[in-house]
């Protein structure tokens, strides 16, 4: 390919020929996290790190783009569907255990964002489901898991609204009122004498038969139920392991302001320090990338 400046680029050899001179480029390397819902890619080219994500159903086109961009790609794989990606596209690709990749990627992002955590902390990975990891220095272990997560948000969201689009679900949730479906503590006491915060939920979806509600209210109540479940499990894990700092990552928090905001409010209420990493959905891909 000849550019206007007279440069010829040979992408297959990762070499640039400029007016008779030769410059060897760094090999492009990538980490791929193939999960239940999304395919996430962290890759570096000429010293710059980039991130991309695709629905897992677009795996073929995503990998085709990546291989066209870098035919001599060095790749490491992680995630539940990593073996499929390896078999179909990268037979020599390095396989990295998912929990290792997640924790190492999170530690790097914390470092890049200038958030130094000396004491042990918990990583809460809100993906299709949710996993909890205890990180203590160079050691880490998965301590808990739940089927409540982004898959719940999508699956129940479809049943509750007859929609099928993640952006639509988050838009509805942000505009709805959970109190039109959830029975709140203040609904029971009907006064200022409640022994706990009146806006807390006494029973999820308990008003479903008695109060008029909209699809937006249903999604708000759903997001709240997911956040409360994650909050309660996080509180128990933090108490058992004597931890005060919680790092939230995962694709289900991206562009989902209600879920993220509700989690943050609950953590503040419980006197736990919550950190939401900017590129937290790419922790697994980034951790795999570090192994290349």
Please, is 67 exposed, middle or buried when counting C-beta atoms within 10 Å of its C-beta (0-12, 13-18, 19+)?
A: middle
Which pLDDT value is given to residue 20? 45
Asked if the domains at 29-98+285-289 and 145-276 fall in one CATH topology, the answer is yes
Region 145-276: CATH code: 3.30.420.40
Is 167 a known active-site residue?
A: no
Provide the 3-class DSSP secondary structure of residue 33.
Answer: strand
What is the tens place of the pLDDT at every residue in 167-224? 999 999 999 999 999 999 999 997 677 888 888 999 999 999 999 999 999 999 999 9
Of the candidate CATH numbers 1.10.10.10, 3.40.50.2020, 3.40.50.300, 3.30.420.40, the domain formed by 29-98+285-289 belongs to 3.30.420.40
Structure tokens at 206: 């308990």
Average pLDDT estimate for 265-281: 95
Residue 16 pLDDT > 50, yes or no?
Answer: no
Which pLDDT value is given to residue 33? 97
Which pLDDT value is given to residue 194? 80
Q: Which residue has the higher pLDDT, 36 or 94?
A: 94
β partners of residue 55 = 38
* pTM to 2 decimal places: 0.87
Could you give the C-alpha distances from 198 to 36, 185, 191, 257, in angstroms and in order? Answer: 37, 5, 9, 22
* Among 24, 45, 58, 98, the one annotated catalytic: 98
Contact indicator for 178, 221 with CB cutoff of 8 Å: yes
Which pLDDT value is given to residue 19? 42
Long-range pairs, 179-186, Cβ under 8 A, ≥24: 180/207, 180/211, 180/212, 180/213, 180/214, 180/217, 180/221, 181/205, 181/206, 181/207, 181/208, 181/211, 181/213, 181/217, 181/218, 181/220, 181/221, 182/206, 182/207, 182/221, 182/224, 182/225, 183/207
List, in sequence order, the alpha helices (H) in 242-290. 257-269, 283-289
Question: Domain spans of the chain?
Answer: 29-98+285-289, 145-276
Structure tokens at 194: 């409640």
Structure tokens at 289: 């990338």
Strand-pair category, 201-203 with 245-249: unpaired
Q: Which residue has the higher pLDDT, 141 or 18?
A: 141
Residue 287 pLDDT > 50, yes or no?
Answer: yes
**Closest by CA position to 182, among listed 231, 219, 234, 150:** 219
Distance CA 50, CA 290 (A): 13
Angle at 148 (CA atoms; ends 201, 276), nearest 5 degrees: 85
């Amino acid at each position: 390919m000849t550019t206007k400046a007279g440069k010829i680029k040979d992408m297959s050899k990762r070499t640039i020929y400029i007016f008779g001179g030769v410059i060897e480029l760094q090999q492009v390397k990538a980490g791929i996290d193939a999960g239940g819902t999304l395919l996430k890619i962290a890759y570096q080219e000429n010293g710059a790190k980039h991130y991309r994500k695709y629905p897992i159903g677009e795996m073929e086109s995503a990998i085709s783009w990546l291989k066209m961009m870098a035919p001599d790609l060095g790749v490491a794989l992680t995630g539940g569907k990593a073996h499929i990606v390896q078999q179909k596209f990268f037979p020599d690709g390095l396989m990295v255990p998912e929990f290792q990749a997640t924790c190492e990627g999170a530690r790097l992002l914390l470092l890049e964002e200038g958030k130094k955590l000396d004491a042990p902390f918990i990583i809460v990975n809100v993906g299709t489901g949710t996993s909890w990891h205890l990180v203590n220095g160079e050691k880490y272990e998965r301590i808990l898991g739940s089927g409540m997560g982004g898959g719940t948000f999508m699956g129940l969201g479809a049943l509750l609204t007859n929609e099928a689009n993640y952006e639509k679900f988050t838009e509805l949730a942000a505009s709805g009122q959970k109190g039109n479906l959830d029975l709140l503590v203040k609904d029971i006491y009907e006064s200022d004498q409640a022994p706990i915060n009146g806006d807390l939920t006494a029973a999820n979806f308990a008003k479903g038969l008695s109060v008029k509600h909209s699809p937006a209210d249903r999604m708000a109540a759903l997001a709240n139920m997911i956040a409360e479940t994650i909050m309660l499990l996080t509180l128990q894990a933090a108490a058992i392991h004597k931890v005060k700092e919680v790092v939230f990552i995962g694709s289900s928090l991206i562009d989902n302001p209600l879920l993220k905001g509700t989690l943050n409010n609950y953590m503040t209420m419980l006197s736990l320090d919550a950190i939401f990493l900017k590129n937290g959905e790419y922790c697994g891909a980034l951790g795999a990338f570090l192994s290349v």
